[in-house]
Structure 1
Amino acid sequence: MSRLQENLTKAEGYLDHFKHGVVANRIGGEDVAAADGATFETLSPIDLKPLARVARGSAADIDHAARAAKSAFAEWAAMPGTTRKKLLHKIADAIVARAEEIAFVECMDTGQALKFMAKAALRGAENFRFFADRAPEARDGKSLRAEGQFNVTTRVPIGPVGIITPWNTPFMLSTWKIAPALAAGCTVVHKPAEFSPLTARLLVEIAEEAGLPKGVWNLVNGFGEDAGRALTEHPLIKAIGFVGESRTGAMIMRQGAETLKRVHFELGGKNPVIVFADADLERAADAAVFMIYSLNGERCTSSSRLLVETSIYEKFTALIAEKASRIKVGHPLDPETVVGPIIHPEHEKKVLDYIAIGQAEGAKVAAGGTKVEGPGGGCYVAPTLFTAANNRMRIAQEEIFGPVLTAIPFADEDEALSLANDVQYGLAGYLWTSDLGRALRFTDALEAGMIWVNSENVRHLPTPFGGVKNSGIGRDGGDWSFDFYMETKNIAFATKPHAITKLGG
């Protein structure tokens, strides 16, 4: 039996978890059907067959979950940080114990390759451990002295929060948002993306089985126009953490304005990888290929624009095209697969439409550019490289969110910087050069929240994660996460008598 067949057999066993009845919402520690009985199907992008029927939440379900989160908040917020630390580590242990199940379900639900999803659950456990270790100090502040006064700052959890996560790497991104919220002492209402809801259900089950009190973490499945909107408008929800498209982020901001919601947005990107002639070209090529074709190109930090110094443009793009043409497109549970099927037929159409747009604009397809007849007949698209492109083309300006790379030449450092900044986004940037002075100048002027020099995206959990311009508001990671999920107080103590202005005396 092949490895793929072995994995398919295992996946069928894991998916049985979801095939009996409807995958319910989880509210107040109980399985709850949608208030109006509505459901929806989640499809596998491999063969477009249903994986499960899922409760479709509405405003009534969000209200139920928000009230459960509010009821659980006082006790959870008062729990000592050391106790929360132990509990979050237990959740991490339970994630590791079920890592294969999580990975296989995620592959079948999203189309992402096992090569990458096998690590997603372990990364999720790392997120829980990282924030667990910081829970005891989450409330710590500063002491600030002034003449005749001693100030102490402290932080307190903001209250019940709403978390809205995307469909591309849903398990890992759910842990990235929810772990710091729990460590801070917040309670949670989580609405996962409707295209890939299954591992969110596994995650809340794991947390409760590890001992998380009822109502601290509530899960409501549904669509943005009903469940999502109700969550962003609900008066009991004090903040919204959202990962997704920039246009949706703007909509959420409008919806939350009436209740003065605090928001953290991780939004779209059109991230440049800038390659100068003095770079290590083989390493730069490997990094550029990894950052656009891993995870099917469905990642906010993908390097979807390739800016290359003119003197090496032909050589370098030929190297990229050669590497892209050798990438295996196939079933996500095949250990050799790099690019699996695109998440959903709607998104596959978007990606293919952009490929057609690029050709109509005059760009040249140097690799890929077609739909692939992959196993199961699902949403497979070949890793694609456009050359002979310019920065005014739609394929250079708009987020495609698929395995499509647009290569643009530049003459010098000034033009490279101008091209890199000339988009509405500013999430990430990748710079390849051996000139330290250039690296310092360029990164100082590059409009991006995160920049890697001579590296692909290598995350260090204590560092800030987030973008500028249309790529987001706020930062995750390390103490920055606590800044979002907590309110800061200042308490001032008079240390000696001081003159008080007398009125009416």
Structure 2
Amino acid sequence: MTIHATAIIDAERITGTGRPIEVVDPSTEAVIAEVAEADDALVDRAVASARAAFERGEWSRASVEQRQAVLRACADAIDAAADRIADVECANTGIPYAQVRNGQVVRAAGNFRFFADYIGQMTAELYEQDPLYLTYVRREPVGVAALISPWNSPLALGSMKVASAIAFGNSCVLKPAEQDPLGLTMLIDAIQGAGLPAGVVNLVNGFGASVGDRLVRHPDVDCVSFTGGTRTGRIIMSAAGANLKPSIVELGGKSANIIFDDADFEAALDGALIGIFSNNGQQCLAGSRVLVQRGIYKQFVEAFVERTRKVRVGDPRDAATEIGPLATRQHYAHVMSFVPAISDGGARILAGGGRAPGFERGFYFQPTIAEVESNAHRLCQEEIFGPFAAIMPFDTDEDAYRIANESRFGLVGYAWSRDIARVMEAQERISAGTIWCNTPMFRDLRAPFGGFRESGVGAEGGRAAEAFYTRQKAVSIPRRPLDLRKLGA
């Protein structure tokens, strides 16, 4: 067992003495590392480091060209450490190695390169309608950002928060999810030598209810970004709001994947499988409610079930593996708890529905499909967050939109049709923050990513990040000397 850094503060690795957090390999259930939780004093030290770095101005007042160079060097540092980062992340999360190495690590480096490019294209507002004045709007960094990343996709989403926060001149303190801190801690360690002034990017490990809460409430933290569960998001927004701190929270989803009868059948089938089973099914943007028009429903269900039964569950280090284990024992129990829900007669299992065969250890769950009679069923209304799809037929387009929008969530939606008019109607009628038409998951970092209703408040992405991580300052300057009133003359 390896003892890993509790924190990275002022570019130094620190092993604290707080309560131990065991890090488990979900494929073997073996404890592979231990991380000591950061105590209150260490959290305060991390925030103080970020505040001091911000006030010194080496980064907050650095030129765009200087920040661009460092952000690109951070990306290069991630590339150089990619194999090591992917190796530890695979062991910590159970996500297949190929998906980590070729997906999440590449995305992490890409996040830094994207924001390096973005800040070089920023423009300012200028108002000159008044003949006596020029008024322009400056964008200045907010200060210190508390960043809390999720356990399902730590590298991609944690690095997105860091890159977007620091690109605009802020300093930050990142808290990885306690379930899988290893890969993100290694990534943050790797970028410390890329030219970042000490204290610009700090990291503390620990539980959300203690370390996360102290970060959010800390008086020297100016804004908060959180990705995770809806219940926790409510707590964080409440705590941040009590201190008038702006926050963005990207939360859960129960997204509808609408497959119309004129869809490209094979593309829609492939997309439905990717939409629910990639990343071990643990993704807020999963197309977990598959709605199929009745004319093709029987054919689609047969093909969907056949392919699902062939999805390869296995050791995440095996190149042939398509789905690895769920992240933790607790989450495995959560996903399993939805299987008895079929006993009410409102749903029936078509594929999977239990522990993956052939595995005595590890949190392996079979790719599962349940046919449901009503969108009101628990399987359609609660976020399972695993490789578990609910499928049901619909008759008319109106039925599809009604069913899709009967949810307290509104993160993403999917629509499959060869008819461009139908696609355009669908993207307008589905109530969600992102709509994918004739494609599974695609992320353009220039566009905002955020949800409606209980899927979150605010968004990440190019312009959305600029709006959140900067403050506006209006500056007015006379064009020529003014003839001012002479009070008291």
Q: TM-score, normalised by structure 2?
A: 0.96
d(CA) in 1 for partners of 2:44, 2:67: 26
Deviation readout 1:254-288 (Å, 9 max, x if unpaired): 11122211111111000111011011111101001
Are the counterparts in 2 of residues 330 and 374 from structure 1 also a CA contact under 8 Å? no
Q: 1:68 aligns with which of 49, 52, 62?
A: 49
Question: Per-residue deviation at 1:115?
Answer: 3.0
Are 1:115 and 2:101 counterparts? no
What is the number of residues matched between the two proteins? 485
Q: Tell me the residue number matched to 1:32.
A: 14
**Alignment partner, residue 157 of structure 2:** 173
1:383 aligns to what? 367
Give the alignment partner of residue 78 of structure 1, picking from 58, 61, 64. Answer: 61
Whether 2:469 is the aligned partner of 1:495: answer no
Kindly state the Cα deviation for residue 388 of structure 1 after the two structures are TM-superposed: 3.6
From 148, 152, 164, give the equivalent of 2:136.
Answer: 152
Q: CA deviation at 1:113?
A: 1.1
User: Contact 1:272–1:430 (CA<8 Å) still a contact in 2?
Assistant: yes
Matched, 1:289 2:273: yes
Q: Which residue identity is paired with 2:94?
A: G
C-alpha contact (below 8 Å) 1:81/1:137 kept by paired residues: no
Query: Cα distance, 1:443 vs. partner?
Result: 1.3
Residues 43-65 of structure 1: CA distance to partner in whole angstroms, max 9, x if unpaired?
Answer: 11111111111021233222111
Deviation at 1:357, TM superposition (A): 1.4
Measure, in 2, the Cα distance between the counterparts of 1:374 and 1:241: 40
Cα distance change on mapping 1:375 and 1:388 into 2, 3 Å: closer
Provide Cα deviations, 1:346-370, integer angstroms capped at 9, x if missing partner: 0000001012213435311111111
Residue 190 of structure 1 corresponds to 174
Measure the CA separation in 2 of the matches of 1:158 and 1:89. 22
Give structure 2 stretches of 5+ with no counterpart.
none
- The 5-angstrom pairing of residues 243-262 of structure 1 reads 243-262=227-246
Query: Partners of 1:113 and 1:22 in 2: how far apart?
Result: 22
Q: Deviation of residue 473 (structure 1)? A: 1.2
- Cα drift, residue 323 of structure 1: 0.8
Q: Which residue of 1 aligns with 2:418?
A: 434
Instruction: Decide whether the 8 Å contact of 2:346 with 2:374 is kept in 1.
Output: no
Partner-residue secondary structure (3-state), 1:293: helix
AA aligned to 1:298 is Q
Mean Cα displacement is larger for which, 380-389 or 36-45?
36-45
Does residue 49 of the first structure (1) align with residue 30 of the second (2)? Answer: yes
Match of 1:100 in 2: 83
User: Per the alignment, in what secondary structure is the counterpart of residue 299 of structure 1?
Assistant: coil
Q: Give the letter aligned to residue 80 of structure 1.
A: S
> Residue 441 of structure 1: CA displacement?
1.8
Say if 1:115 and 1:338, in contact at 8 Å, map to a contact too. Answer: no
Instruction: Please give the per-residue CA displacement for 1:408-463, whole angstroms capped at 9, x wherever unaligned.
Output: 21110111100000000111001011222222222112110000111111112212
Alpha-carbon contact 2:2-2:32 (below 8 Å) kept:
no
1:409-448 matched pairs, under 5 angstroms? 409-448=393-432
What whole-Å deviation, never above 9, does each CA across 1:148-175 have from its counterpart, x for those lacking one? 2321111011001000001111011111
Secondary structure of the structure 2 residue equivalent to 1:200: helix
1:231 lines up with 2:212 in the alignment: no
Choose from 288, 291, 307 the match for 2:291: 307
Moved over 6 A (4+): 497-505
Q: Give the AA of the match of 1:466.
A: G
Cα distance in 1 for residues equivalent to 2:487 and 2:422 = 62
- Secondary structure of 1:405 counterpart: strand
Deviation at 1:98, TM superposition (A): 1.7
Q: Which amino acid aligns with 1:116?
A: Q
1:220 to 194, 204, 212: 204
The one-letter code of the counterpart of 2:65 is T
Give secondary structure in 2 for the equivalent of 1:456: coil
Q: SS at the partner of 1:365?
A: strand
Offset, 1:320: 0.7
CA offset at residue 136 of structure 1?
3.9
Q: What is the aligned partner in structure 2 of residue 59 from structure 1?
A: 40
Residues 97-106 or 329-338, more deviating: 97-106
Conserved in 2, the CA contact under 8 Å of 1:46 and 1:376? no
Q: 1:502 to 1:435 in 2, by over 3 A?
A: farther
TM-score computed with the length of structure 1 as normaliser: 0.93
Q: Which residue of 1 aligns with 2:354?
A: 370
2:128 counterpart SS class: strand
Secondary structure of 1:168's counterpart equals: coil
CA contact (8 A) 1:177 1:241 kept: yes
What is the CA-CA distance between 1:498 and the residue it aligns to?
A: 7.2
Relative distance call for 1:477 and 1:282 in structure 2 (3 A) is same
Letter in 2 for 1:29: A
Superposed displacement of residue 337, structure 1 = 0.4
What is the match of residue 5 of structure 1? Answer: none
Displacement of 1:310 in angstroms is 1.4
Amino acid at match of 1:101: R
Which residue identity is paired with 1:63?
D
Q: Percent of aligned positions with the same letter in both sequences?
A: 36
Q: CA deviation at 1:497?
A: 6.9
